[in-house]
Structure 1
Amino acid sequence: MDNEASVTDGLLRLTNWYNSATGHAFHTFPLDFSNPVISNTSSVPSFSTTFVFAIVGNYDFYDTSELISSDGLAFVLSSTKELFGASETPGYLGLVNSSTNGNWSNHLLAIELDTVENFEFGDIDDNHIGVDVNSLISNASKTAGYYTSDGEFHNLSLSSGEPMQVWVDYDSKRTILNVTIAPYYLSSAKPHRPLLSVRYDLSSVLTNNAAYAGFSSATGAFASRHYILGSSFQLNGEAAELDYSALSFKTIQDELAQLVPPPSFTNSEDYKAILYAVLLPTALGIAMVLSAITVKVLMKRMSKSKEAKMEWEREYGPPSFTYKDLLAATSGFKDKMLLGRGGFGSVFKGALPHSKQTIAVKLVSPESKQGMKEFIAEIAILGHLRHRNLVQLLGYCRHKKQLLLVYDYMPNGSLNCYLHTQHQNTTNLFWAQRFHIIKGIASGLFYLHEDWEQVIIHRDIKTSNVLLDSEMNARLGDFGLARSHDHGADAHTTRVAGTWGYIAPELARLGKATKATDMFAFGVLMMEVACGRRPIWMNTDNGEPLALGDWVLAAWQGGSITDAVDPRLDDYVEEEIELVLKLGLLCSHPSPNARPCMRLVMQYLQKDAHLPSDLDPNSLLNIGLVQDEMHDQHAMSCPTTVITDLSKGR
């Protein structure tokens, strides 16, 4: 350790409450990078490390609603642990200075956790993670956050003081460096999808067959503290899991509790004397004038608000529930009643106080503009639909800024939970139930596409939006992204929406949702129900994403499409499961013109029609490949269009 670095209360503290300071902490002896266990394309062996860190910032003088930090910290592999030439100038993280930045002779790899946007380094924002090689200009960087198993991106604030865990993995065979981050409370549940994945041969960086592993940090204009709570490192293998029970959080929690926002005014006696003697009479006069103006403005706003309320109710109907009743039904929206939480709000279970009817209440986040759009879409579309395979919207409520939607309660939860949260050796869904669920979803979609007075494009068909009632009947729900248009007319959607893995190639490319894009998602869902696998998952053999369409198609090309069936199923009817898998591939065909309409799908499932006789693997090649490439490209460029599972709330 050097400069500000020290060990305090079981924590490695890199910096203290000082401005323009640095701190380094390196393992005492260098690691031997000279002897890879296997023959690799890189002369540097694979390595894996994980660590838990916390950055305790201070209040912004101008905005006391958030903590800020000047500079951040970095995990470092360096040819030397003597970084005395490192600059304390903000932005350099205690690694290099203006004259050495970018020099190939640095032999330095850093994973930066940066809390300042330095324009001279091309930083993307003031809260990002970057991969740096010999320079503070990152080879790649991303806003700090993590992906859940369904592909949804969650932001993290690096300077919040909350402990977070980072994983850094280098695959020397493929020369790929992956960086992953998650909140520490997820324990060792490392996200499947890394935040950053960079192809770089580190043999050009770590050239001396040895490197020091450690951490570096710096502060600039604002004082802050940087902590490492625990770490683990392994060459040619997976880093050992941390002992979470041994990590010390009390010191950090105490520091956060002691932070005090800066005062917004002075309390000096001189100031008070001037105020009373000179300014107070003037201020009272101004206050009277302003009060009169304020009353007039408020009365005008109240009048406009009343008009807006009347206009709202004329268009969408009067509220069906009072806020008081919904508050009582959900026990005050207590956590014990929480069913799930998502980007646009939370869903609670409740029982109406008079009728005792069990309901589900979605409390839409008032700060979300997208949440308001979804709120209106649910009322305008789902409020008019009546079908046994659609979730029934019972009504809505508006209370001040609170937006609430009330649905029939589905006691058996989402289809996603049954497919993906059960133990691999057991399942609560037999094939007969799964086939019944598929036909139920198809029936609901047929109603939306063909049988209602307008065409409804759902735009977010997935297993977490399929709920199961008390008799295990499928109910398609969550119409917040749905759009309607007249029969024979074109849809007017131009914004990509949906969930990674279910998005049709033409939707990712053109942004236009149609009945065919819904069909693509339904095709993926059918295969998911039959195979018990998510639409896209990480291949354990090579770490690459694998699409469900590829998996099923490969099984068919291998001679038996039923090889892709969920191994937990042992009671399926072979004719039915072959129909579902082949129909799933056909519905997820890369060409929208090749996908069948919902009316024809219903005939196939009810065995009133037969699949095309010329349907074979060769006619369906590259379904998964196209799907995977387009989804991956879209998820990178438009992360905000990925929508969460209803199992976690919307």
Structure 2
Amino acid sequence: MREGVSNPTTASQTLDTSEVHYANFELICPWTHMNHHGYRMGSAATLRFIIALLCFTVSSAQNLTTFTGTYGSFNQTMYNEFEVVAAASITNGALQLTPDSPYRNQLLNQPLGMLQDQSGRVVLKQPFKLWDNSVKNSQDRVASFNSFLINAYAFKNITAGEGLAFVVAPDLDIPSRSEGQYLGLTNYISDGNPANQLVAVELDTFKEAFDPDANHVGLNINSIVSNITTALTPLGIEIALLGEDRYYNVWVQYDGVKKFIEVYIERQVEWEGQTPPRPPTPVLKADLDLRGVVAQHSYFGFSGSTGSAVQLNCVLRWNLTVEYYPQDKNPLSRKILILGIGVGVGAVLVAGAVVLGYYLGKKRGMSQPKMNIIVALKRLPGTPREFKFRDLKKATNNFDENKLGQGGFGVVYRGYLKKENQEVAVKWFSMETIKGQDDFLAELTIINRLRHKYLVPLLGKSFSP
């Protein structure tokens, strides 16, 4: 384990081997924290995790690239590396997934409102391509990965909750209203929807009706209801034992060849002590084919939440290794198709990604037809992601250059989404070009439902009132 590393070290190398390679990542959570004034707290318990993820190199007809990042003693420069969303922050040398407290040693005398009902995410900004569509199914290998390091802090005499998770997600966003039981992963509307394209390993400290207890590890697929859980108390592991300093190493291992995931946990005596060997038996093991769940280009990171019960959810160190397929050198070099369907229905389909940009004009008021169109868009099957219009303006250089052509109802522009590291085609519809509302909505429905090996599905939409 490398201590005190503040900047990631990245290494890229080509792999074409059937040998097994291991890569450790460490996650440390201190039970005893220093408060903002430098005083050590004795009346509170800090959950310390050292989480190590191991990964196997997969053998494939196509070479893989390895990314390795070592992160620790987090500082403000890390905002360049990580997307920090909602209530999360980078403070006190850690990734704070939920709000930190300046009153840790006086919390019992302070209102809890600032800590309750919060959720946050911290995600590495670099996406990783986890499989290659050009590889035949019989030879297909989903890239293996390893990652992360977390910390949770449970206050003495206060119920701990809700927990935190390592997450593989399709984008850098966090769902709204994802606090409480949702762990920053989903919300009451999206929970259980396959469109989430999300896999998480949760460390849960609050018992919900669907949980085995208030101290367990779980594998979550598109939902906060775990597919498989393991109660940790019978194993002598207490994630958030109140009033005591405890440190745990957690290894999360995914085998991209045999397609299963394993989680190992081992206690470490001191925060900066020697990392213990990985135990021989996992606390959780399950079959998992990532290709059937997550997005081909996915992000790695952490999420956490509090509810009426509170705790501090921190990541102190993170060693990440991801084995991934190289990105397409020119995703827009493939053929662009203008497809005519029915009465004036045109769809711009780009191999790589398609974004629908819908521009309503800059009027304060909104007419009933506009409202009808917005409602219809929000009801499209699969609920396409909503992009901020300013992001699309930036991606297309203010719709000034890179014009690809013009189809039914609008102009198509080439763009680049920096956060997603993805080239896209943006079709701009205006009210002036929409002569028939029914035809316009029919086109959108067709675009959203198109599925073909040479075409890609609708990535999202945008509104500008």
* Fold agreement, TM-score > 0.5: no
Structure 1-normalised TM-score? 0.32
Identify, as 1 or 2, the structure richer in strand.
2
Identify, as 1 or 2, the structure richer in helix.
1
Structure 2-normalised TM-score? 0.44
| Higher Rg of the two aligned structures | 1
**Structure ranking higher on relative contact order (CA contacts 8 Å, 6+ apart):** 2
